[in-house]
Homo-oligomer: A and B are copies of this chain.
Amino acid sequence: MINKLVNEIKKKNAPIVVGLDPMLSYIPSHIVDASVAEFGESLEAAADAVWKYNKAIVDAVYDLIPAVKPQIAMYEQFGIPGLNAFKKTVDYCHEKGLVVIGDVKRGDIGSTSAAYATAHLGKIKIGSKVFTPFDEDFATVNPYLGTDGIKPFVDVCKEEKKGIFFFVLTSNPSSGEFQDRTVDGRPLYELVGEQVRKWGEDCMGDAYSYVGAVVGATYPEMGKILRTIMPKTYILVPGYGAQGGKAADLKPYFNEDGLGAIVNSSRGIIAAYKQDKYASFGSEHFDEASRAATEDMIKDIASIF
């Protein structure tokens, strides 16, 4: 799957991923109203609105981008109907040929991690039949429980030719409270980065490992160091745009080949119509605003090479 991701990035010349993280407040009222008219004021209505909003955005941008990253929390908050909308979104993005990165940040110990790995990347056998529960292509995973917690994810990736992004350094202001603490003279995130590189060494695709890392765009100096520590690790970079990361800051995350990193934008794309810059599209044409914002992001990122 890492080979597919790299090939799609090259083909579309766009090292970007659109974060499908719908908040109800982003969804234009004509969509929400129609869903409420059909399902009443209910979790089902919210989930239906989320799904229709996602579908319109995917239809508007799928030919420009290699991948999407739905953040499962935004669906889980609408309970079971929300998770149905998540699954419909994953399936629809596959139909459109997109790589799907499930931003699930799961992680636990042994058998529990194995169950999460099955849920998001694997297969489960019931009697003589085999099912793929959520069926993303990549999942984001928490590495802080150590090797026996992450091994089940790596094992499933090998078996299914799927991928993982371990979060190494997050983009939030408080990430440093633990992740930056000095261990043996070096920050903890460097140790985690080294471990991620090791975990990835026997999971190689053609040029990059199936085992990737999440490193926030908001800390480019640290991104530079982690790039060196993990040369064959794909880096998923959140924090561009709304969280303050700028294109000029992103260069250190890439390798000389112009590959090795994929930059996420969520709000900046999916709620583009709410920005002054794209306001002229109006909420009726939110999907066209998203397309314009995607084109601008691709140009912005291309400018650094």
Q: How far is the CA of A127 from the CA of B115 in the complex (A)?
A: 36
Q: How far is the CA of A151 from the CA of B92 in the complex (A)?
A: 34
A181 within 8 A of B: yes
A43 within 8 A of B: yes
Given known A-B contacts A172-B149, A174-B149, A133 and B78 have beta carbons under 8 A apart? yes
- Partner among B127, B172, B176, B183 whose Cβ is within 8 Å of the Cβ of A41: B127
The stretch among A187-195, A221-229, A274-282 that forms the contact with chain B is A187-195
A89 within 8 A of B: no
Give the interface residue-count category, chain A.
35 or more
* Structural contact, B184 and A77, CB atoms closer than 8 A: no
- Partner among B45, B78, B145 whose Cβ is within 8 Å of the Cβ of A175: B145
- Partner among B43, B106, B133, B182 whose Cβ is within 8 Å of the Cβ of A184: B182
Q: Which residue of B lies closest to A86 (CB)?
A: B80
* Structural contact, A177 and B76, CB atoms closer than 8 A: no
A255 within 8 A of B: no
Given known A-B contacts A174-B145, A174-B146, A119 and B43 have beta carbons under 8 A apart? no
Contact with B along A100-127 (1 / 0, CB 8 A): 0000011111111101101110001011
**Nearest 7 interchain pairs by C-beta:** A146-B174, A79-B133, A41-B127, A146-B177, A109-B172, A73-B115, A76-B119
